[in-house]
Amino acid sequence: MFESFLPSFLITFREALEAALIVAIIVSYLQKVGKSKLSRYAYLGSGAAILLSIVIGILVQSLYGGLSDVVAQLFEGIASLTAVAVLTYIIFWMTGHSKRITGELHDKIDVAISRNELYSIASLAFVAVFREGLETVLFLSTLFIQDTAGTLVGVIAGSTVVLGLAVLLIRGTYKLDLKKFFGYTSILLVVFAAGLAGYGVHELIEAGEGMGVGFGVLGEKPYDINPPLNPDGSYPLLHEKGVLGSILKALVGYDGNPEWLRIVVYLGYWLIIGSYVYRSYRAPKIEGTPEPPDISVKNVE
């Protein structure tokens, strides 16, 4: 129990913080240009997005509850790989937009104000928050299946911490370097995505075998490092079903006896996407290139 707390907390924290950053940029800029009263439209859009994300999450879990074992494995595998695809897209998006996101949002807000299109302000907040909410539903769907209580506590804890940070951001008492934020969280996303990719492949292999599909050598397990059960029948600490092993499994995709295909996919993702992230954020700084701005509500440019 609660082996999914840490990964669900980190995922929720990361996704909710990005949404909070965008809403903070919108609200702070409205304050700067003397349109503070329009901030309520940003809050309305955010609230609607949160409610819709919760409804979708409930529907996904309800759908899963009525599936047979093989179909459930297919669902978990497809959901995991879909989440990997979305995570990968986010990683590429962040490397290209981390320096421009503030300016792009300001331009859109200026257009909305000039045209008196108040719904556009609500839409900006809605799209930003709903995108992160939908991504969170995708990422956490398999964790909810494995450990509902731990995942739920992690979601609540992550959301609570971000809510506190959002208040500080809007009041201008906390600054956040966007480049560093996106850089560090990109590494975190690679960790999650590699683990999800391996888990998704594992579930698809099990579903295929349940339907009589063979995978040859790719479905074979080259080793098994899971320690034997304790004398009382409980799982040892480092067993993939033990306390620490379960946390590592949910967090980084640890598996004591993985299939060859899972190993190839896991290492391949790290090699390709991990090296891309490393090159993107370790690139030498060109002389004269300005530093990315800090996010501070009282100092929005």
Q: Which two tokens stand for residue 94?
A: 């962040």
- Residue-wise pLDDT tens digits, 227-263: 999 999 888 988 888 878 887 887 788 899 999 999 9
Instruction: Sketch the domain layout of the chain as residue ranges.
Output: 5-176
Please tell me the predicted confidence (pLDDT) of residue 65. 67
- Residue-wise pLDDT tens digits, 18-73: 888 888 888 888 887 888 888 899 899 999 999 999 999 888 888 776 677 888 88
The type of residue at 130 is F
φ and ψ of 292, to 5 deg: -65, 145
Instruction: Please tell me the distance from the alpha carbon of residue 108 to that of residue 131, in angstroms, as a whole number.
Output: 18
More confident residue, 229 or 180: 229
Confidence of residue 287 (pLDDT cuts 50, 70, 90): very low
DSSP line for 126-187:
HHHHHHHHHHHHHHHHHHHHH-HHHHHHHHHHHHHHHHHHHHHHHHT---EEHHHHHHHHHH
235 SS3 class: coil
- Residue-wise pLDDT tens digits, 102-138: 677 778 888 888 777 778 888 988 988 998 888 888 8
